[in-house]
């Protein structure tokens, strides 16, 4: 794990050439037809100016990256009452608006760890919404096992320069699997933290990872994703045990005032690694 990213250029990539098919371009989901089936992906508004992406894995649970919930300036965790999930947010409207009543961050994730590369491992959190979302147009996604090297995956994400509508990259590739992380050719930017990485399973998208960071390997941009298998099982057990940070909140039923310009200020601003 200590060599996860820091030694990647002199280890993994020298032993195995960086070969991947060209990823598909990003396609902004501007219309209802474009967005159909992806309404379970939403924008997370965190604190006064934080922006990340989250995806529903149950009618009351949203999966995202743990680092989204911490202030880069202070290292403090955002309070549940300061987080809003906007399911299917597109052009100023969402399919559903929800607050958060509980935050569960993986216990082995340390935001202030000296080894920045190691933060990718276990960079996972689950948010329990203040109310379930039970709409026929907003469906949670199944979770699937970790994809193999060379597998084709896709990403749906928001970012600082497209915070009003999500974008879909239908095809990118898993370049490597190492020490609990996936290295992928997917295009990500600030605000894409927490975005779901999908494979198509039985004709339907299933989540196999969550975007944690972006990095450069031999001057080639890559994205780093957290392996879901054990970390997500740990989080689900914590939820069942009643662990996590709770708050009492009034249900969110109307659009919040948008404060997102840079997408990187305050708690939840996407904080990507650049090894």
What domains appear along the chain, each with residue ranges and CATH number? 16-246 (2.40.10.120)
- Residues 218 and 167: their CA atoms lie apart, in Å, by 26
**pLDDT-derived band at 247, boundaries 50, 70, 90:** low
- Got the DSSP string for 102-158? EEEE-TT--TT-S-GGGGGTT--EEEEESS---BTTB-PPEE-PPPPTT-EEEEEE-
**pLDDT-derived band at 240, boundaries 50, 70, 90:** very high
Q: What are phi and psi of 82, to 5 degrees?
A: -100, 10
For the record, the structure tokens of 120 come out as 């990718």
Give the mean pLDDT of 166-181. 88
Residue 208 has a pLDDT of: 95
Residue 170 has a pLDDT of: 87
- Residues 122 and 193: their CA atoms lie apart, in Å, by 14
Give the mean pLDDT of 246-264. 48
Among 26-40, 120-134, 250-264, which stretch is predicted with the lowest mean pLDDT? 250-264
Give percent above pLDDT 90 in the chain.
Answer: 48
**pLDDT-derived band at 4, boundaries 50, 70, 90:** very low
Name 45's Cβ contacts closer than 8 Å, sequence gap at least 6: 51, 83, 84, 86, 256, 259, 260, 268
**pLDDT-derived band at 257, boundaries 50, 70, 90:** very low
Give percent above pLDDT 70 in the chain.
Answer: 80
Beta strand pairing call for 196-201 and 41-46:
unpaired
Name 75's Cβ contacts closer than 8 Å, sequence gap at least 6: 111, 112
Residue 126 has a pLDDT of: 97
pTM (2 d.p.): 0.83
Overall residue count recorded for the chain in this entry: 275
**pLDDT-derived band at 220, boundaries 50, 70, 90:** confident
Give the chain's mean pLDDT. Answer: 81
62: helix, coil or strand? strand
Whether the pLDDT of residue 230 is over 60: the answer is yes
Residue 185 has a pLDDT of: 92
pLDDT in tens, 20-61: 556 777 788 878 887 889 999 999 999 888 899 999 999 999
- Residues 18 and 196: their CA atoms lie apart, in Å, by 23
Position with higher pLDDT, 124 vs 20: 124
């Amino acid at each position: 794990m200590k060599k996860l990213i820091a030694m990647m250029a002199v280890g993994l990539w020298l032993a195995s050439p960086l070969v991947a098919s060209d990823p598909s371009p990003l396609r902004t989901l501007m219309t209802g037809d474009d967005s159909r089936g992806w309404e379970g992906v939403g924008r997370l508004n965190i604190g006064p100016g934080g922006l990340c992406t989250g995806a529903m894995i149950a009618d009351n649970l949203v999966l995202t990256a743990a680092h989204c919930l911490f202030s880069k300036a202070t290292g403090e965790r955002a309070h549940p009452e300061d987080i809003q999930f906007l399911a299917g947010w597109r052009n100023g409207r969402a399919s559903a608006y929800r607050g958060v009543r509980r935050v569960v961050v993986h216990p082995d994730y340390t935001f202030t760890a000296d080894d920045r590369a190691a933060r990718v491992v276990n960079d996972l959190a689950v948010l329990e919404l203040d109310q379930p979302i039970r709409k026929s147009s907003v469906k949670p996604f199944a979770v699937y096992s970790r994809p193999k090297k060379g597998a084709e995956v896709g990403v749906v994400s928001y970012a600082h320069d497209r915070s009003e509508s999500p974008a879909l990259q239908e095809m990118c590739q898993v370049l490597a699997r190492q020490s609990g992380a996936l290295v992928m050719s997917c295009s990500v930017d600030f605000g894409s933290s927490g975005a779901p990485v999908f494979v198509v399973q039985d004709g339907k998208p299933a989540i196999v990872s969550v975007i944690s960071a972006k990095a450069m390997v031999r001057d080639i941009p890559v994205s780093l994703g957290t392996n879901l298998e054990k970390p997500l099982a740990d989080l689900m057990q914590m939820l069942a045990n009643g662990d996590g940070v709770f708050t009492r909140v009034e249900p969110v039923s109307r659009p919040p005032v948008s404060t997102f310009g840079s997408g990187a200020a305050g708690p939840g601003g996407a904080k990507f690694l650049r090894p």
